[in-house]
Amino acid sequence: MSRIAYVNGAYVHQRAARVHIEDRGFQFADGVYEVCAIRRGVLIDMDLHLERLAWSLDQLRIDVPVSWRALRIILAEMVRRNGAPAFGLLYIQVTRGTAPRNHAFPTGIAPTLVMTVRTLPAPAYAVLQRSVAVITRPDLRWRRPDIKSVSLLPNVLGKQEAMEAGAYEAWLVDDEQRITEGTASNAWIISREGEVITRPADRSILNGITRRVVLRLARRLGLVVSERAFSVAEAKQAREAFFTGTTAFVKPVSRIDDTAIGNGEIGPHTDELLRAYLAHVEAQAANSVPVARR
């Protein structure tokens, strides 16, 4: 099935989808994005993603490209036109628009709205529960990584370094040797005392939607949860470690740099949280009307 993209009002074959070379997203990374999982044709936690998109746009003073009602219709149509997959990812990007290159905001232009859908193998517990290694690297990003902007160069470089080191993710480290987050995920540890720890969602991290859901699930499971910064040294002494994200779900960590975490298998609390998160996704997929049938 061919992939259908959305570009400024038109549904087009992805191969033919184009934006202007003077789009400010291309020239200045002057734009924001969201990635939302699709499960059985249902957009998972869509309201939370749209809420964050609205906030990111507002922070950068980029206009909302179409009404929120129209945006929801386009989202549904994109899922439908791409075959309402059993599993996939929907990508939304909004940039400030196209104008002759000049740093200051241009006036009188419309934002660019682009969407794509990618179909992927359904998330199987057997695969998700496999632990992966992470490396630590200095956090080289600007001081507003809480905005989901398309300015991702340090994230790209960090992820590439992780790949080259045989790891899956890079955890970024601030000037006080505390972990901020992963290049495309939020970082968590579970202390020897069983405390579930993740950095507070201040301006130093992206407040992940998966992070928000997992925090809620952890509290519901009766785990002791603490939103506080933790150091690299503390992480290396943790009993369990994992990271969360729309594409990673809840991913156990077996190694941080050269330090093994636990016995290399998923730890009991991480496992509990992964299962709870999977149940959350499956329940939403089962209880919502798939967009294709609305």
Ligand X SMILES: Cc1ncc(COP(=O)(O)O)c(C=O)c1O
Residue choice 38, 206, 218, 235 for contact with ligand X (CB under 6 A): 206
DSSP-assigned letters across all residues of 82-119: TT--SEEEEEEEEES-B-SS-SSPPSS-PPEEEEEEEE
Residues from 86 through 105 that contact ligand X (CB under 6 A): none
Is there binding between residue 84 and ligand X (CB under 6 A)? no
Is there binding between residue 185 and ligand X (CB under 6 A)? yes
Residue choice 39, 178, 199, 211 for contact with ligand X (CB under 6 A): 211
Is there binding between residue 198 and ligand X (CB under 6 A)? no
Q: Alpha-carbon dihedral of residues 140, 143, 147, 150, nearest 10 degrees?
A: -40
Residues from 24 through 83 that contact ligand X (CB under 6 A): 35
Residues paired with residue 242 on neighbouring β-strands, in sequence order: 188, 252
CB of 275 within 8 A of CB of 125? Answer: yes
Gap between the terminal Cα atoms of the chain? 21
Q: How far is the CB of 18 from ligand X (least distance, A)?
A: 25
Q: Which is nearer to ligand X, 85 or 97 (CB)?
A: 85
Q: How far is the CB of 169 from ligand X (least distance, A)?
A: 10
How far apart CA 277 and CA 287 sit, in angstroms, is 15
Q: Which is nearer to ligand X, 151 or 246 (CB)?
A: 246
Q: Which is nearer to ligand X, 8 or 60 (CB)?
A: 60
Is there binding between residue 280 and ligand X (CB under 6 A)? no
How far apart CA 284 and CA 213 sit, in angstroms, is 12
How far apart CA 34 and CA 56 sit, in angstroms, is 10
Count H helices, E strands: the chain? Answer: 8, 15
Is there binding between residue 181 and ligand X (CB under 6 A)? yes
Determine whether 148 is an active site residue: yes
Residue choice 44, 71, 135, 209 for contact with ligand X (CB under 6 A): 209
Is there binding between residue 238 and ligand X (CB under 6 A)? no
Catalytic residues: 148
